[in-house]
Amino acid sequence: MSGLRTFGFALLAAVALSGAARRPTTIFDLSDAVGRPAPSVLLTTGDGAPVPLGTLRGKPTYVFLFAGWCGPCQEALPFVRSDFAKYGDRVRFVGVDVLEGDDAAHAAVMRAALPFPVAIYSIEQLDAIIAPEIQLHAGTKYRIPADFLLDANGVVRYAWHGLALTVEGDPLDVLPSYLAKLGIQ
């Protein structure tokens, strides 16, 4: 019996080491990549254009995850638009509508009218990879709005979840402070 158990453990270890047990990467895995290159994630805009997140190089990239039903996301949109107007020539901006169905996502993207590429990563796409129960118990990883800043080499330097607030409870734009840490004023 112990030989069979040893064989079972060895088989599990071999599968884990070979990568056969790895799940596909999601956009939320940027949360786990701080200090490392951004994982390759299949993203496409509402009109089907690819957004090659894992291969973007040359200038910093800001990634903003939001949903149409998310109140804090809507509060963050004016900051995102303003930051694009100020830094859009020096920083690549990518929006990603998440955690809603395709029809709602398309409508939210149209309403947001962001002046940069916006991909859709539907809830169905996420649920097919990560069980909803796991998402609910994963802490802040699946909390939106979620923001990520990649450096010019594609390394995730900063990740923050939820709407930043001042001590008084007012929404706060933190992207400029993170960009300053990358030398962008």
Percentage of residues of the chain with pLDDT beyond 70: 89
Structural domain range at position 47: 23-181
Residue 15 inside a domain? The answer is no
4: tokens are 């069979």
Confirm whether 1 is domain-assigned. Answer: no
Stronger pLDDT, 169 or 8, i.e. the higher one:
169
Residues 6+ positions from 185 with CB-CB distance below 8 Å: 179
Residue 81's domain is classified under what CATH number? 3.40.30.10
Q: Is 16 inside any structural domain?
A: no
Structural domain contains residue 126: yes
pLDDT at residue 9 in the model:
44
Q: Where are the alpha helices (DSSP H) in the chain?
A: 2-18, 71-87, 102-112, 123-127, 132-136, 175-181
- Tell me: the pLDDT tens digits for 44-76? 888 888 988 878 899 999 999 999 999 999 999
- Domain membership of residue 3 (yes or no) is no
- Residue-level pLDDT at 47: 83
Contact 76, 171 (CB under 8 A): yes
Q: Is residue 10 part of a domain?
A: no
Residue 8 in any domain: the answer is: no
Total number of domains in the chain:
1
The predicted-structure confidence for 113-138, as pLDDT tens digits, reads as follows 999 999 999 999 999 999 999 999 99
User: Helices (H), strands (E): how many in the chain?
Assistant: 6, 7
Whether 130 maps to a domain, the answer reads yes
